[in-house]
Amino acid sequence: VGKRPGRKMEYVANFGSIGNITFTSDEYETLIKVNLPGLKSSGVRWMVHNTWWQENTTCPPADEAYYDPLMIGHSTYCVKAVGSRFEHCRVGDMVGKHGPLSAHSTQDFIDLSLPLNGMASVLNRAVVLGTNPPLCARIGEPLEEQLIAKFDGPYLKRSVLISQTELLRN
């Protein structure tokens, strides 16, 4: 009897000299690693924007057009709660789910409602930091995508790892 294969996807939003935010997802959750040592201020609002974004275009404000594919809208019930599924939060409401960012931020968050694939995927959307002026980075620079098959039966104990480092389109 073998275990279910796992799929790991990892993408980065690169803010240049400010730092980056890495998104690593398996089938169940997304790990968000914030590494922004160049962030100068605290209490910075952050979000995933509703539209697809390309570098060298105007960065939208950090409180405008949260990514909301489930059409939840603004909810007073969206509060920071570790391990919560955030049923009352817009997908892109990072402040509501995880709180604002602090200066020189290095933080990790687990998000159960931030998909990197499928119909509600956040890939190629902008992460917007509410600095003055706002800063944007596209979620989409692939670090690595892995497919892992593990076999742990009485006659076969092996695992197979397939890695790819280019962006795959669904």
DSSP string across 136-164: EEETTEEEEEEEEEEEESSS-EEEEEEEE
Extended beta strands in 15-168, E state: 20-25, 30-36, 46-52, 105-111, 125-129, 135-138, 141-152, 157-164
State the pLDDT at residue 86: 64
- Amino acid identity of residue 151, one-letter, is F
pLDDT at 30 over 70: yes
Using CA of residue 82, residue 87, residue 91, residue 93, what is the dihedral sign? negative
pLDDT at 88 over 80: no
Q: Which two tokens stand for residue 11?
A: 């993408």
State the pLDDT at residue 96: 84
